[in-house]
Amino acid sequence: MEERSLELRGIGKSFPGVRALDDINFKAEGGKVLALLGENGAGKSTLLKIINGDLHQDEGTVLVDGKEVNFTTPQDAINAGISIIYQERQLLPFMSVMENLFVGDLPKNKFGIIDKGKLRSETQRIIDDFGLPISPDDMVGRLNVAHQQMIEIMKAYRRDSPIIAYDEPTAPLTDTEIEILFKIIRKQKEEGKVILYVSHRLNEIFEICDDIVILKDGKYVKTLHTETTNEKELITAMVGRDIGDTYANLDRNTEFGDVVLELKDLKTPYIHDINITGRRGEIIGLAGLVGAGRTEIARAIFGVDPITGGQLIVDGEEVHFKTPHDAINAGIALCPEDRKYEGLILFRSIKDNISMPVLDKLTFSRFFVNFKAEKELAEEAVQKFDIKTPSIDKVLMELSGGNQQKVILGRWTSSKLTTKILILDEPTKGIDVGTKAEIYQNICNLAKDGLCVILISSELPEVINIADTIYAIHNGHITGTIKREDATEENVLTMAMLD
């Protein structure tokens, strides 16, 4: 088998006001998994987009198997054997799994008509390789986000490209799917493929990667080897300082106030008999697998899903929200899990996105937007979360994924919101390790200010180390409650798998 390789020489790329990449050199070889690691906005995604022809570099060359290539579209790159899995899904929600997998390349019979039988059997074969509980005919829009992400991964798997790049593939996945993904990556590695892997989760990098290329502010820092390095060295190389033990160093809130939130036997079509009590200053963690019903609990509290039974009590009074607007007025904020579809307006600026829920508080005579106050609010968020951007007028789609996530956190923690109950659904999705530590401290500070925070996260360590009280959710039911002092990954996971 010939040796595969992907080499970058002197790659540079600028955007208006940003030097996204500067003189990047490295080589990825077949049969190895190369990690790209760096803070939010370091240029990882930009680099991958240059490799697959979605963007064109200003300087430098890309070499595939030692030969210079010049792609003008992603299709060129696919034809040349390069597949990229983007973190943001690009599926056709109203099409079936099999149509999504083979889009652009549907098997035809000799009359030129789509060969449904072959389509179905090929798709089934791929699903079997992955071992997922889905069928070729399922409509993709109906699948949960984790399974949708797996479809995205299957698309690249199906093409059997010799060069595969994963950009934060695990952000929407839970352990079950991550395990499957790693099995697939190991197989691809054995087949001698060149694999690039971007993630902010260091444990994954240690598990699956061989070499680690570190980027900082668009520049190449160094290459480390998983065999010989450790977490501390990685973080220092990428953040530029030692951040110490994230959880142990947290300055937590220890005093809880009155009960502000009570769910009594709460029911919606998706959740059953949910009982949760939240006090001022308390952080409540919801742990469970994807699809367990954690997001659905949040949606019920926020007035999105209709409540069909039980009681929702805020500040001692039973409430019936018809819309999220009512919930916001009652002091509840929800930072949604899917930033692209439910959170952000990608074509609008950072400022516009941050001010959304409080716009009516930023007005003259209730009607005219006070641009100055709006600007200050946005700048406050940019500072608080260290959002990397040349200005608050930059449109969201030009920000890196992690920085988009920070914008949405900024929106829901702004000083103009009179929040009593803050629900954070996967708040650190796509956020780099350094910033994560800051966000955890931010969450604790909010609790100190007397907020009741509900934290939903698929990263179990996050939930069990930050939350004061942890509820395990399975199949729309609460299957256990535990205090942080007693919680371990094992016992919480066991509860979350109980029926």
Ligand X SMILES: Nc1ncnc2c1ncn2[C@@H]1O[C@H](COP(=O)(O)OP(=O)(O)OP(=O)(O)O)[C@@H](O)[C@H]1O
Which string of x and - marks every residue 353-392 that binds Mg ion (by CB under 5 A)?
----------------------------------------
- Please report whether residue 398 would count as binding ligand X according to CB under 6 A: yes
**Residues found in the chain:** 499
- Reading the block at residue 418, the tokens are 């009179």
Distance CA 160, CA 31 (A): 14
Binding segment for ligand X (CB under 6 A), chosen from 12-20, 59-67, 239-247, 256-264, is: 12-20
Among 139, 313, 369, 373, binds other proteins (CB under 8 A): 369
Q: Who contacts 170 (Cβ-Cβ below 8 Å, separation ≥6)?
A: 177, 178, 181, 199, 201, 204
Distance CA 381, CA 395 (A): 15
Q: To the nearest whole angstrom, how small is the minimum distance from the Cβ of residue 410 to other proteins?
A: 12
Among 10, 141, 390, 461, binds other proteins (CB under 8 A): 390
Q: Who contacts 98 (Cβ-Cβ below 8 Å, separation ≥6)?
A: 119, 120, 122, 123, 136, 137
Hey, which residues between 34 and 73 contact other proteins (CB under 8 A)? 45, 49, 54
Which whole-number Å values give the CA distances from 376 to 81, 206, 363, 435, in the listed order? Answer: 48, 41, 13, 22
In this structure, the dihedral spanned by the alpha carbons of residues 346, 349, 351 and 354, taken in order and rounded to 10 degrees, is 0
- Please report whether residue 402 would count as binding ligand X according to CB under 6 A: yes
- Please report whether residue 199 would count as binding ligand X according to CB under 6 A: no
Hey, which residues between 44 and 83 contact ligand X (CB under 6 A)? 44-46
Binding segment for other proteins (CB under 8 A), chosen from 58-66, 155-163, 228-236, 351-359, is: 351-359
Among 53, 401, 434, 476, binds Mg ion (CB under 5 A): 401
Binding segment for ligand X (CB under 6 A), chosen from 131-139, 202-210, 246-254, 392-400, is: 392-400
Q: Who contacts 341 (Cβ-Cβ below 8 Å, separation ≥6)?
A: none
DSSP code string of 429-447? TT--HHHHHHHHHHHHHHH
Q: To the nearest whole angstrom, how small is the minimum distance from the Cβ of residue 437 to ligand X?
A: 15
Contacts 24+ apart (CB under 8 A), 204-207: 204/170, 204/178, 205/35, 205/37, 205/234, 206/231, 207/182
- Please report whether residue 413 would count as binding ligand X according to CB under 6 A: no
What is the gyration radius of the CA atoms in the chain, in angstroms?
23
Binding segment for other proteins (CB under 8 A), chosen from 87-95, 252-260, 269-277, 481-489, is: 87-95
- 33 or 470: CB nearest Mg ion: 33
Q: To the nearest whole angstrom, how small is the minimum distance from the Cβ of residue 166 to ligand X?
A: 12
DSSP character for 340?
I
Q: To the nearest whole angstrom, how small is the minimum distance from the Cβ of residue 403 to ligand X?
A: 5
Among 278, 310, 401, 434, binds ligand X (CB under 6 A): 401
Binding segment for other proteins (CB under 8 A), chosen from 113-121, 344-352, 464-472, 481-489, is: 344-352
Burial (CB count <10 Å: 0-12, 13-18, 19+), residue 367: exposed
Q: To the nearest whole angstrom, how small is the minimum distance from the Cβ of residue 104 to ligand X?
A: 24
**Under 8 Å between Cβ of 301 and 263:** yes
CB atoms within 10 A of CB 445: 14
Cross-strand bridge partners of residue 68: 63
Hey, which residues between 393 and 432 contact other proteins (CB under 8 A)? 397, 400-401, 404, 411, 430
Which string of x and - marks every residue 11-50 that binds Mg ion (by CB under 5 A)?
----------------------------------x-----
- Please report whether residue 115 would count as binding ligand X according to CB under 6 A: no
Residue 15 binds which of Mg ion, other proteins, ligand X, none (CB < 5-8 A, kind-dependent): ligand X
Q: How many CA atoms lie within 13 A of 95 on its CB side?
A: 12
Distance CA 36, CA 215 (A): 7
Q: To the nearest whole angstrom, how small is the minimum distance from the Cβ of residue 198 to ligand X?
A: 7
DSSP character for 290?
T
Among 8, 35, 41, 174, binds ligand X (CB under 6 A): 41
Q: Which residue is nearest to ligand X (CB)?
A: 402
Binding segment for ligand X (CB under 6 A), chosen from 38-46, 61-69, 252-260, 317-325, is: 38-46
Among 347, 485, 490, 499, binds other proteins (CB under 8 A): 347
**Under 8 Å between Cβ of 395 and 346:** yes
The dihedrals phi and psi of 21, each to the nearest 5 degrees, come to -140, 145
Q: Which residue is nearest to Mg ion (CB)?
A: 45
Q: To the nearest whole angstrom, how small is the minimum distance from the Cβ of residue 304 to other proteins?
A: 7
Crossing angle for the helix pair 116-130 and 145-159, nearest 10 degrees? 110
- Please report whether residue 169 would count as binding ligand X according to CB under 6 A: no
- Please report whether residue 360 would count as binding other proteins according to CB under 8 A: yes
CB atoms within 10 A of CB 266: 22
Where along the sequence are the contacts to other proteins (CB under 8 A)?
A: 16-17, 45, 49, 54, 74, 86-88, 90, 167-168, 302, 304, 323-325, 328-329, 334, 336, 340-348, 352, 356-357, 359-360, 362-363, 367-369, 390, 397, 400-401, 404, 411, 430
Where along the sequence are the contacts to ligand X (CB under 6 A)?
A: 15, 18, 20, 38, 40-46, 388, 398-403, 430, 432
